[in-house]
Structure 1
Amino acid sequence: MNKYISDITLFSGQSTEVESYYLADEKHITGNPLQSVQNHFESPCKQFNVGIWQSEAGSWNVNYSEYEYCDILEGSSMITDSQGKSLTVKAGDKFVIPVGFIGTWEVIEHCKKIYVMFEQQPAQT
């Protein structure tokens, strides 16, 4: 299947809806951070997404069912795993969170990131 220039998704020329929300009660730990996501691209199979996420200060539980590449554009956050080990990320940091990561995400200073997520389909038996 050939693809062409017209098939390239150019985000800068795109008007994408911004979805704002508060955390679900079962995830919430501290604060009540207003978050927003601007999903610029979703693949037809819905397994691959790219966009911009941001959040006010607060913390919540995370349980990743997808791989997520993050490029922190503004602010800082602390990511803590289920063993209590932490990583502080700030503007300029780029990293991947693996499938199966369980822990917490705490926004220390308003955080904005580019995300690229890939969610594998469950293995068929």
Structure 2
Amino acid sequence: MVDGLGDPFTYHFHGEHALGGRRSSRDAMIRWWQRIVDLLPGARFTIHEVIVRGGPWRTRVAVRSSVRGPLPDGGVYSNTVFQFMTLRWGKVTEVETIEDIQVLVRALEVVAASGSSEAEAAPIVD
């Protein structure tokens, strides 16, 4: 994901939680992806629909997917994810990610209750 980002780029994940925020540097994106792996290590994504429009100078992409993975209490995190992206000449310049914030926050609360203070951390932004 990080290697596919353009220069400049903006990645916005909606919500005030540990995975939320707006990032525009490679370093912040690497830290953000590491946080996802740390908080939801078994999460897997399934792509359900991709819509593409535009030429290579400005390609718009909409993705509907789902994410699912185990939680530390034995439960399962399951959510729907919508992403809207802009690519310029094959590089991602904008990403906006939206998912059910209530479901995500509940999952982060379970992760925090298992001892991960990072699940309650402020968003990674720059």
TM-score (norm 2): 0.29
Q: Structure with the greater relative contact order (CA < 8 A, sep ≥ 6): 1 or 2? A: 2
TM-score (norm 1): 0.29
Task: Return the structure number with greater helix share.
Answer: 2
